[in-house]
Every structure is written in C-alpha cells, then in structure tokens.
Amino acid sequence: MNYEELIHKTALADERLLVMTAENRALIRNLPGPLGPRFIDTGITEQTMIGAAAGLALRGRVPVVHALATFLTLRAFEFIRTDVGIPHLPVKISAFVPGFLSDGNGPTHQAIEDVSLMRGIPGMTVFAPADEQDMLAMLPAIWASPDPAYLRVNTRPATYQHAPFEMGKAEIVAEGTDITLLTYGMLFEQALIAKDLLIEAGYSVGLVNLRSLKPLDEAAVLDVVKGGSLVVTLEDHFQTGGLYSILAELLLEHELTAKVLPLALKERWYKPGLLSEVLEYEGFTGQHIARRIGERLGDGAHTFGAKTKVVENEFAE
Amino acid sequence: MLGQVPYNNDYMTSEKQHELEALALRVREHIVRLSTDGGCFTGASLSCADLLVYLYADFLNVHPGNLTDPERDYLFLSKGHDVPALYGTFAELGFMPKERLNNHLKSNDSIYWHPNRSVPGVEFHSGSLGHLPSVALGVALDARMRGQNQKVIVITGDGELNEGTVWEALLVASAHKVNNLTIVVDRNHFQANIATEDLIPLEPLAPKFEAFGAVVKRIDGHDFVALEEAFSGLPFSPDKPSVIICDTVRGRGLPSIERRADRWFCNFSSDEVTSLLEELHSQEATKLTSETLTVR
C-alpha cells in the first residue's frame, strides 16, 4: 500500500472524499481516470484550489488537496486561514516536499515555517509522519476527522517498525535519563541513528516521534521534561515557531524549566543540494546530531563513528 | 422610484417593477439607518441594492424556507463591505427580523461591516477581496458533480477586480467548463478612495472577461427589466462561465452622495440620517457637513 493506493481505496469507500491538486501529481498520477470528476486539477493556482476546496467542503465534501508545502502555506496562507480556518472546514492539506525534502530546489521551495504558520490557525491540526509507513498509519484518522488538517507528506521508506497511530499521541521509541530527542517528520530517521550512536558512547537516550504537532501529546512531552534529561528538539524548520517554540510554550504554561538543545534552522535558509549534501552541510545527519549533542554535554572529542550514509530522495514533481 | 425604467416590455410586468422599486427603497432606508453610530460602507451598498433586491426577490430560488436545501440557488457576496444592502434585503424578505439590524456593531450579535454565516442566508463570510469567486467555483463544481442545476452567483466589486485571484478563479472555471457559475460585477466605477479608471483602469472590461473564457453581458444594474432580461438568459453558454457586468452608481438613490469618492464609508450624524431619509424619498440633494472618508 502506498499513498496513492490508500487515497484511491478511501475515495471508493467514501464518496465525500475528493482529490484536488494545483498541478502537483507526483503522488496521485494514476487517479484522474478512476476518480473521474472527483479528481480536480486546478492548474498552478494554490489560492483558487484552496478556495474551491472550501466551497466543496461547504457542500459536504472532504477535499484532499495537493501542492508543494511552501506554495500552499505561503502563497495560499490567507485562503487557508480565511476560507478553511474561519469556518473550520474539513479540508485536508497534503503538503509535498516540506522541510529538507525540497533538497535541491533552493530557498523558494523551502517550507521551513509551515508548522509555525499552520499551527497558528485556530482549529487547524498539524501532522508530520516519520516516513511512509508512519504516514499511511495516520492518514485514515486524519481524513476521517471533522477538522482541517495540514500534513507534511513524507514518502521515505521506513527504517523503524512503527506502533499503531492514535490521534493526539506521540510514539515513544525509547526512554533515557541523559538525553531525549523530540522530533517529527523526516529527521526521525537521523534521530534513530543518532540515538544508537549516543547509546554506543554510553549515554542513556530517549527518542520521541511526535507524529502530530497539533494536537500535541502534552503528557508525553511533560514526562520527558520531568525526567530531567537534556531535551533535544530536532526539526527541519526555522527555530522560531516550530517544536522549540511549542516546547517553550508548554514549559511556561506549566511553570517548568528544562535543559533544552534546539537543533533547527536559526535565522537562515538551508544550503540546497542532494539530500545527503544538505544534511551533511547543515549538520543534521545521525552522526552530526550525535556530535552536536555530545558537544553540548562537554563531550566534544567524541566523533560518533563514521559519516552517516543518507538515502537520497527520489525526485518526483 | 427612479423614473427612467421602461414599463412596457416582455420581461417584467409593471406591477412587478413597482414592487421591486418599493422594496429597493426600503432596503436603501435600512442602508441609511446603518450609516450612523459607527457607520458602514454606504456608497458601495447603495450601488448594489437594486441588484440584490432583484436577485433575492425575483430571480434566485432561495428564501427563508429552503436555506438548507442542497438544490437551492447560491449567492456569494464577495464584495462583503456592501453587507448593509444584503442585510437590508434579508430583513425585508424575512430572512432575519428587522430588529436585528439594531444590533449593528454591538457585541450581543454578529452584525458587523462584513457578512458572516450567523445571519441566515449568508452562504459564506467575506471581507478579504478576491476570495469568493474560488469558493463559489467549488460549490458550482459540486453541484455539477451531483447533477444539480442550480445557479451559483458571486458578486464582486469592480475595485475587487484588482485582485488576481478573481481572474485566476475564472481561468480555472473556464478550463473546467463550469457553466453554472456566474460572476456579477457591481461596476460602480469607484475603488475605495478613487475612480477605478484613475487608479487601475479596467476598461475595456467585457473583453477582458471574454478573453478569460466567459460569456459576458453588460447592463444597467439599476434597471430591473435589464436585470431580468440578462439573468433569465443564464447560463449564457453550455460550456462556459457567465459574467454580468452591472453598471451602477455609487451612492445610488441619494444625489448628495452619488459618485463621490469621499462617500464610500459613511458615519452620519442622526440629523443627517433624518435628512438623508427625506432625500431618499424626495430625490433632492441634502447638504452634508460631516467628514466621512475613511481610507482603506
């Protein structure tokens, strides 16, 4: 089962579901025939697609819209906020190549403020699967929900066998007393490698795959904070507005403090290139993540093994 | 009331015209009464009062009794700042109690400067220009998918045509041959603060819409017979969206504010409201002293 097969199957079972795209067919190439008029390509018009999706949702449909994450969340932001957010319509946004996944496209295509923007809309839900398996596990619940939803599409192959998805629940992969990595989306794969390298170096390391940024599994995050380990927020997002900010908001709300290391993009766009080049250059491979955490803990001499081999993205526009 | 409508025609009886004129006069009274204690977009409301009265009282299959019927006709007011004309029409036609207009700008209700769905009959909120052509497109697509043949009308301002998304939505509607969608332009020849042709010229306007794939008719938007003649011809094409450009006059019905750039948003004193109501009935200009221009 892949994304296209899942959406096809779901659409056959539920006539409310529609597939829309602003000419981004990478994940839904074979659906125009089978879905007929329930496949709507509006051309390169993110704003009109979102507006039309709102109109379709007003009539009882559940439109799943597809376009690049950056154009949806930036160019069409006001349409999402105003036409989907204000009336709280169940428009489901499948945002393609978010974060580091736009690899070689350059800063125009870097959706690294998308979590910040989408979570700021009242009632909007925000999901970021670790890989394809994780994504397929959460999509049925997302599409069945009455809420508008933003999904960071991630079709990378799983390197971890995920637990079943439960709405609003994070996946606790490991618990540790020295370090806990909180992450979401495609960096989970690198976090998993970093965790093992840090364990090999003698640390007790936890790892949480948040899965959903909104709703946030506050209990899981608070448990981590109360455990007293160094909390690492790891994200392919600007440091402002994403997970680091979410954690800061939660800590203030609960009058807590914690030792936190943010690994994010601080006031900068990332260097474009092949995914392996991006992660290496920006310091987000498993090895780099382990090293940066080691440095924070005063363990700057440790190299954490050899350079991490990164599986490249399959190009699909 | 305006004394220039031809009464002998094939489209509308003179009784019907008189009835619509009387209704439009009452709607204009509501607009004037809302133009105080905080004010409202008076000029832009008066220009489309006749259009809204015609559509709701005579043309559209939508009334207080069928607001949840999926086969009703839809009207989307994309130029949301003319909501006094819409609410005035709703109050007269029984969509909402007239007393509810007394709640204008009060926190005990949701009667404010732009439409919202807490008022029965409002299909979608608006205020940000250039949004509802695409929302209406979605509704039109769904109606077609379900084999329903109701009309989906979206009213835009002419200043609103500055927004690229109006044209983007029309481009997409044309591509998908959406013939049940009609864009109606309240062509009152003014942006917020200035004549359209002095800021972002729109003419020749009809050819622009034609070039984007629509079939266009241009009429006098204050002439009920012309409105009936144009709207009764919808859809204009089996495979294209329709556009009706309604040439109108900003401030129509009140000669003292007609065609004035500084009478877009008005907040009159209660004495001025009284004299404007007299003017509405007498058609003679009232002398106004208050400064009412609000820059967008």
pLDDT band at A302 (very low <50, low <70, confident <90, very high): confident
Q: Is A11 part of the contact surface with chain B (CB cutoff 8 Å)?
A: no
Q: What is the pLDDT of residue A73?
A: 98
Secondary structure of B22-39 as H, E, C letters: HHHHHHHHHHHHHCECCC
Q: What mean pLDDT do residues A268-295 have? A: 97
pLDDT digits (tens, 9 = 90+) for A166-188: 999 999 999 999 999 999 999 99
Test A48 with B132 for CB contact under 8 angstroms: no
Q: Residue B122 pLDDT > 60, yes or no?
A: yes
Q: Residue B31 pLDDT > 60, yes or no?
A: yes
DSSP string, B40-98: B-HHHHHHTHHHHHHIIIII-S--TT-TT-TTS-EEEESSGGGHHHHHHHHHHHTSS-G
Q: How far is C-alpha B108 from the geometric centre of its chain's CA atoms?
A: 26
B25, two tokens: 């006069």
Q: Residue B84 pLDDT > 50, yes or no?
A: yes
Interface test with A, best of B71, B129, B131, B171 (most A CBs within 10 A): B131
> Among all chains, which residue has been given the structure tokens 């936890």?
A206
Test B131 with A86 for CB contact under 8 angstroms: no
Range of the domain at B68: 14-282
pLDDT digits (tens, 9 = 90+) for B40-80: 999 999 999 999 999 999 999 999 999 999 999 999 999 99
Q: What mean pLDDT do residues A40-65 have? A: 98
Sign of the dihedral defined by the CA atoms of residues B183, B188, B192, B197, in that order: positive
Q: Residue B3 pLDDT > 50, yes or no?
A: no
Distance from CA of B29 to the nearest CA of A (A): 31
Test B125 with A86 for CB contact under 8 angstroms: yes
Test A58 with B139 for CB contact under 8 angstroms: yes
In a domain, B2, yes or no: no
- Its ipTM equals 0.95
Q: Residue B206 pLDDT > 70, yes or no?
A: yes
Q: Is A40 part of the contact surface with chain B (CB cutoff 8 Å)?
A: yes
Domains of chain A: 3-152 (3.40.50.970), 171-296 (3.40.50.920)
In a domain, B84, yes or no: yes
In a domain, B227, yes or no: yes
Helix (H, G, I), strand (E, B) or coil at A96: strand
Q: What is the pLDDT of residue B231?
A: 98
pLDDT digits (tens, 9 = 90+) for B222-252: 999 999 999 999 999 999 999 999 999 999 9
How are beta strands A17-21 and A39-41 bridged, if at all?
parallel
Lowest mean pLDDT segment, chosen from A19-33, A169-183, B81-95, B280-294 = B280-294
Distance from CA of A122 to the nearest CA of B (A): 16
In a domain, B4, yes or no: no
pLDDT band at B119 (very low <50, low <70, confident <90, very high): very high
In a domain, B7, yes or no: no
pLDDT band at B262 (very low <50, low <70, confident <90, very high): confident
pLDDT digits (tens, 9 = 90+) for A76-124: 999 999 999 999 999 999 999 999 999 999 999 999 999 999 999 999 9
Q: What mean pLDDT do residues B274-281 have? A: 95
In a domain, B295, yes or no: no
CATH of the domain at B131: 3.40.50.970
Total number of domains in chain B: 1
In a domain, B187, yes or no: yes
Question: Could you give the CA distance from residue A153 to residue A44 in angstroms, rounded to a whole number?
Answer: 19
Q: What is the pLDDT of residue B7?
A: 54
